[in-house]
Amino acid sequence: MNINKTNISIVYRVGAMAAMPIGGRLTDRIGGGLICIVGLAITIVATVPFVFLPANANLVAVELSRALRGIGVGLSGIPSMTAAFRAAPDNLTDATITANILQRVGGSLGSATIVIVIARTTPQLAAFQTSHALLVTTASIALVTAVALAISERRESRTAASPQSSGVGANLQTVGRNERGTPRP
């Protein structure tokens, strides 16, 4: 089997593309926090082998790890963005713009950092391993924030499901309004 850089790039993308719709559906069902945690855990597990990759690595194993890494990234991206948009329903335009800027600036800074690490590290295998160690570190930091997101979502769901939030007091905003939510004359 002839394996080259294009194949490795394709399997990563296929893994991510396959996971994104699944991550979206699961986010709608159970929230973004838990799905993001699973996705980032898969990403970390699939990236760690690249930190210790030998020069004569089995390229099929490399492709499988890249595909698994793509699945992890696909599972963590959609839920995190969905959670960001749900957190600001009244300011969705601002949230969209802010998330877009953060993605672009973060991606650029991350790419530049990886390039600097690779350029300053010799030999090439050590540079490859060091850059993936940096990716594991970054994903680990993201995992901590995903845990915070899951805890926040769990608290919100408990608050929404509590008897206090579903009692008469919770419906005070609807008093004096018709079935369409407009004020009664």
pLDDT in tens, 50-94: 999 998 888 888 899 999 999 999 999 889 888 888 888 888 888
pLDDT in tens, 96-138: 898 899 989 999 999 999 999 889 888 888 988 999 999 999 9
Q: Whose structure tokens read 């979206």?
A: 24
Half-sphere exposure of 123 (CA within 13 A, CB side): 3
Position 176 scores a pLDDT of 47
Q: What percent of the chain has pLDDT over 70?
A: 83
At position 70, the amino acid (one-letter code) is G
32 CB contacts (<8 Å, ≥6 apart)?
78, 79, 80, 82, 83, 86, 149, 153
For residue 154, CA distances in Å to 23, 30, 37, 138 come to: 18, 10, 14, 25
Enter the CATH code of domain 5-157.
Answer: 1.20.1250.20
Of residues 123 and 46, more confidence is placed in 46
Residue range 15-42: mean pLDDT, rounded = 94
Residue range 18-25: mean pLDDT, rounded = 94
Residue range 140-149: mean pLDDT, rounded = 94
* Arithmetic mean of pLDDT over the chain: 84
For residue 40, CA distances in Å to 10, 20, 73 come to: 20, 13, 7
**3-class DSSP state of 2:** coil
Position 112 scores a pLDDT of 94
Q: Where are the domains of the chain?
A: 5-157
Position 6 scores a pLDDT of 63
Q: How far apart are CA 59 and CA 8, in angstroms?
A: 9
